[in-house]
């Protein structure tokens, strides 16, 4: 787990390096606000295609080879970013990065292989903390190197990912071990034994409900982050380096929340209530961005949206992983990225259209409404039952135990 967390950390440092610079870089190359959000959405569009494939391959071939391959692919994508001299090349760099970013489902499946029961949310929280730390450190690095050009940080990100891939070859063990050698020699089983069973598993209750909440909240969050730099530049005259500080602060809060708080919170109140809390806080904090009178008010909002995502997404991932069998973790978690990826694609697109053709504050208000709808859906997530002192999901979604049927009132 510690080696995986370090791998995710360095990978996300590379992602964080280019994240706050991308809108400014695209505008310098002549992109309109909608084209900026289109370039941002292209990352998630490619991730949407890649994540289920990465996850399914990892169920059969192991997690380690695909994580290493993804790191090398990330290095190539950041090199293209550094060399971009047109919006088309910049778009290509984000498409390549999205293909490499499909390994997120593999990292989540690695955690599912390595943890049990209530520890799974904590393990996913640790990976999320490493991710948040990378996004905290990355923008500061990107802001520093941007003084040599907005493409220069891409070289740094490429080098980090390449070194990280070599380190993973040396230090990252395979998580599936000997049990899976036998499993791969047997006929396919479980929720992802075939394409039809995989689709049915994704839409069956409670997975369908969980993925709907995930889609709405990630769409809201992606919309907010895609236009935040453009909004603050126009309203508060903020620069790329100042936006780097915003993302750094958000990453710092996320590190604390995911690394320390989410595991304790889930053990105390369960994932279902944690998801409800996160979606409600996200709705309030995203909507408030449109109402603040000055840039310093962002400092008050950053902890809230970072807290919301820090407790929300690991808890959702934990519930999804517990709602399927051990042989299908990669495939089902990869399938969950279809919902998340759709939100990350559509969120920036509708935000860009609203920003360019309506009021520039309207994407934040629309995002708040989506998160509020997610909160209402989250009220229907069934609670888990305490069994022998260990908190466990009430049953596999494929073969639920009638004695452990969900509370009709929604938990």
Q: How far apart are CA 408 and CA 411, in angstroms?
A: 7
The predicted pLDDT at position 370 comes to 94
With respect to residue 215, please indicate whether it lies within any of the assigned structural domains: yes
- Choose from 30-39, 53-62, 99-108 the range with maximum mean pLDDT: 30-39
Q: Are 374 and 398 in contact (CB under 8 A)?
A: no
With respect to residue 179, please indicate whether it lies within any of the assigned structural domains: no
With respect to residue 184, please indicate whether it lies within any of the assigned structural domains: no
Q: Is the pLDDT of residue 113 over 60?
A: yes
Q: How far apart are CA 139 and CA 128, in angstroms?
A: 17
Q: What is the pLDDT of residues 145-161, one digit of tens each?
A: 877 888 888 888 889 88
With respect to residue 47, please indicate whether it lies within any of the assigned structural domains: yes
Q: How far apart are CA 393 and CA 407, in angstroms?
A: 13
The predicted pLDDT at position 184 comes to 46
Facing residues of 386 across strands? 391
Give me the phi and psi of 391, to 5 degrees please: -75, 125
Lowest mean pLDDT among 81-95, 164-178, 204-218, 307-321: 164-178
pTM: 0.64
Q: How far apart are CA 355 and CA 231, in angstroms?
A: 8
Which of 104, 137, 154, 122 has the alpha carbon at shortest distance from 1? Answer: 122
Q: Is the pLDDT of residue 282 over 90?
A: yes
Q: Which residues of 52-84 are buried (b: 16+ CB within 10 A; e: fewer)?
A: bebbbbbbeebbbebbbbbbbbbbbbbbbbbeb
Which of 87, 30, 24 has the alpha carbon at shortest distance from 234? Answer: 24
Q: What is the pLDDT of residues 341-378, one digit of tens each?
A: 788 888 888 898 898 888 888 999 999 999 999 999 99
With respect to residue 314, please indicate whether it lies within any of the assigned structural domains: yes
Quote the mean pLDDT of the chain. 76
Number of domains in the chain: 1
Lowest mean pLDDT among 52-66, 292-306, 323-337, 387-401: 387-401
Facing residues of 392 across strands? 385
Q: How far apart are CA 7 and CA 383, in angstroms?
A: 33
With respect to residue 75, please indicate whether it lies within any of the assigned structural domains: yes
Region 290-313 average pLDDT = 86
Q: Is the pLDDT of residue 269 over 60?
A: yes
- Choose from 80-89, 106-115, 321-330 the range with maximum mean pLDDT: 80-89
With respect to residue 352, please indicate whether it lies within any of the assigned structural domains: yes
Q: How far apart are CA 334 and CA 192, in angstroms?
A: 11
More confident residue, 105 or 149: 149
Give the pLDDT band (50/70/90) at residue 262.
Answer: confident
Which of 102, 8, 27, 110 has the alpha carbon at shortest distance from 64? Answer: 110
Region 214-240 average pLDDT = 87
What are 16's two structure tokens? 């964080």
Q: Which residues of 210-220 are buried (b: 16+ CB within 10 A; e: fewer)?
A: bbbbbbbbbbb
Angle at 40 between CA 35 and CA 43, to 5 degrees: 130
Q: Are 209 and 377 in contact (CB under 8 A)?
A: yes
The predicted pLDDT at position 202 comes to 63
Handedness of CA 125, 340, 22, 350 (dihedral sign): negative
Region 95-104 average pLDDT = 78
With respect to residue 400, please indicate whether it lies within any of the assigned structural domains: no
The predicted pLDDT at position 203 comes to 62
Residue owning tokens 């990669």 = 330
The predicted pLDDT at position 24 comes to 83
Q: Are 333 and 109 in contact (CB under 8 A)?
A: yes
| Residue span of the structural domain in which 44 resides | 2-174+200-384
Facing residues of 385 across strands? 392
For helices 298-322 and 262-269, angle between their N-to-C axes, nearest 10 degrees: 60
Give the pLDDT band (50/70/90) at residue 235.
Answer: confident
The predicted pLDDT at position 196 comes to 57
Question: Residue 34: exposed, middle, or buried by beta-carbon count in 10 A (0-12, 13-18, 19+)?
Answer: middle
Share of residues in the chain with pLDDT > 70 (%) = 77
The stretches of 204-270 forming alpha helices (DSSP H) are 207-236, 240-256, 262-269
What are 107's two structure tokens? 């990292």
Q: What is the pLDDT of residues 163-222, one digit of tens each?
A: 888 888 887 777 655 344 434 444 444 444 455 555 665 666 677 788 889 999 999 998
The distance from CA 381 to its chain's CA centroid, rounded to whole angstroms, is 20
Which of 12, 19, 276, 211 has the alpha carbon at shortest distance from 127? Answer: 12
Q: Are 222 and 347 in contact (CB under 8 A)?
A: yes
Q: Are 33 and 352 in contact (CB under 8 A)?
A: yes
Residues 6+ apart with CB under 8 A from 48: 98, 337, 338, 341, 342, 344, 345
The predicted pLDDT at position 411 comes to 34
What's the CATH code of the domain at 141?
A: 1.20.1250.20
Lowest mean pLDDT among 91-100, 137-146, 329-338, 390-399: 390-399
Region 99-119 average pLDDT = 71
């Amino acid at each position: 787990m510690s080696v995986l967390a370090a791998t995710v950390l360095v990978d996300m440092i590379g992602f964080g390096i280019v994240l706050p610079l991308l809108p400014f870089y695209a505008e310098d190359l002549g992109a309109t606000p909608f084209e900026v959000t289109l370039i941002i959405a292209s990352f998630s569009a490619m991730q949407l295609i890649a994540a289920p494939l990465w996850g399914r391959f990892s169920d059969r071939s192991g997690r380690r080879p695909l994580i290493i391959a993804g790191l090398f692919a990330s290095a190539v994508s950041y090199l293209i970013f550094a060399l971009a001299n047109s919006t088309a090349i910049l778009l290509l760099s984000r498409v390549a990065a999205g293909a490499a970013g499909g390994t997120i489902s593999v990292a989540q499946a690695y955690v599912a292989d390595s943890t049990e029961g209530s520890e799974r949310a904590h393990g996913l929280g640790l990976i999320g903390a490493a991710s948040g730390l990378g996004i905290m450190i990355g923008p500061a690095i990107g802001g520093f190197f941007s003084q040599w050009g907005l493409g220069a940080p891409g070289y740094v990100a490429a080098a980090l990912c390449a070194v990280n891939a070599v380190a993973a070859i040396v230090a990252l063990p395979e998580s599936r071990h000997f049990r899976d050698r036998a499993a791969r020699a047997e006929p396919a089983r479980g929720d992802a034994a075939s394409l039809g069973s995989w689709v049915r598993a994704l839409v069956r209750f409670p997975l369908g409900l969980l993925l709907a909440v995930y889609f709405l909240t990630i769409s809201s969050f992606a919309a907010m982050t895609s236009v935040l730099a453009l909004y603050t530049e126009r309203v508060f005259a903020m620069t790329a380096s100042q936006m780097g500080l915003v993302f750094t602060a958000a990453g710092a809060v996320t590190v604390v929340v995911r690394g320390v708080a989410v595991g304790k919170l889930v053990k105390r109140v369960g994932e279902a209530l944690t998801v409800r809390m996160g979606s409600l806080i996200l709705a309030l904090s995203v909507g408030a961005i449109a109402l603040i009178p000055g840039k310093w008010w962002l400092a008050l909002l950053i902890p809230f949206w970072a807290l919301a995502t820090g407790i929300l997404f690991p808890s959702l991932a934990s519930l999804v992983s517990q709602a399927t069998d051990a042989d299908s973790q990669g495939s089902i978690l990869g399938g969950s990225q279809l919902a998340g990826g759709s939100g990350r694609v559509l969120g920036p697109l509708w935000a860009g259209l609203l920003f360019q053709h309506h009021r520039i504050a309207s994407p934040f208000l629309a995002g708040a409404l989506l998160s509020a709808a997610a909160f209402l859906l989250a009220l229907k997530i069934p609670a888990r039952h305490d069994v022998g002192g260990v908190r466990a999901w009430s049953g596999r979604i494929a073969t639920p135990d009638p004695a452990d049927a969900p509370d009709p009132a929604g938990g």
